[in-house]
Amino acid sequence: MRKLIVAAFQSLDGVIQAPGGPSEDWTNGFQFGGWLVPLMDEEVGAEIGALFSEPYDLLLGRKTYEIFAAHWPYHPEGEADDGLIAKQFNAVTKYVCSRSGDVDTSWKNTTLLRDAAKEVAQLKQAEGPNLVTQGSSDLIQTLLAADLVDEIRTMTFPVVLGAGKRLIGPRAHPNIWTLAKHSVSANGVVLARYERAGPVEVGDYGLVDPSPAEALRQERMKRED
């Protein structure tokens, strides 16, 4: 079975919108496109390299796919840094998810998926390398809601952006995640890998016999709900 890995650059408040430049996504007047660029360092670059060091297929939402398709086929290929990423991205299988609308799938080795939850679930059962997402905020919400994500790799930058598209929204399937690996870069970027561990468990630190004040508080909460 193939794993589905969500990999994301995010701010302290969970924003993943337009990390690499203003032209990536200015939806809803987002003002901070390119917010990660001043904070990039060698450790972050090494983490990106590790992500793409093993066989993988790309799984992208339409908007991110179009950003990639307008950039990577035109980037010089090489054996180091961005040149290696260009070489890999141009060669690997790419799945682009779009519920409707026209998508130019002329970028080599591209397959269009119309029903992301259903078709990605089928892809995970098939033979092949792991599926890796980049960007694709809307698609990630669908994958999390369908409980299809096996691993989340975050690169959390020390910046608060306020408004913007979030990595994890309210539709996400409840789960516990195990921290499998983590480190901190020279610029304070927290690099973390989380693996899905199972359903959420709960407990209760309340008194066995609630105090009269607590009983009144709970009654008020019920009325205000």
pLDDT above 80: residue 40 = yes
Question: Considering only 16-30, 140-154, 178-192, which range has the smallest mean pLDDT?
Answer: 16-30
CB atoms within 10 A of CB 99: 11
Q: Model's pTM, two decimal places?
A: 0.91
- Range 104-133 burial, b when 16+ CB lie within 10 A, else e: eeebeebeebeebbeebeebbeeeeebbbb
CA–CA distance, 167 with 149 (Å, rounded to integer): 13
Band (pLDDT 50/70/90 cuts) for residue 101 is: confident
CA–CA distance, 58 with 47 (Å, rounded to integer): 17
